[in-house]
Amino acid sequence: MDEDRTSWKEALKSPAAFKTFITNYFKDHEELTGSYNIPSYYEHYTVRLDSHDGLVITLITGMNQIGANGSAALPFKQTEMMSIEDFRKLILHKKFADQNMSLSDVFQVVAGVPDNNDEN
């Protein structure tokens, strides 16, 4: 994991190097997934590389509570497309590279999924 923490940060220095890094990353991993669960609420995200060298971020959110009639609310699914270069710029702008974060951590933040260690 330490290699992941340094190699993506090194690749950030160049748009071409970052595109190569991300493309290779998804050749090896196909997709990146993560989730956040508390008793009443959940979020699951998936990040994939699309055929146009962009990122597809899918976020599914829902309530874990079951209503009086025995049914839970339907989950909400949101999909966002982002170019690799826009993702690189977002990382640079948010200064994720200055923090001790893995690429998975950054995707989690971009998807809007809270950290499981957060108190809220």
**Contact assessment for residue 70 and residue 58, using Cβ atoms and an 8 Å cutoff:** no
Q: What is the mean pLDDT of residues 34-44?
A: 82
> What is the pTM assigned to this prediction?
0.69
Return all residues near 52 (Cβ < 8 A) that are at least 6 apart: none
Tens of pLDDT, residue by residue over 62-97, are 887 666 666 666 788 988 898 999 888 888 877 666
Tokens of 73: 């609310």
Tens of pLDDT, residue by residue over 104-113, are 777 777 766 6
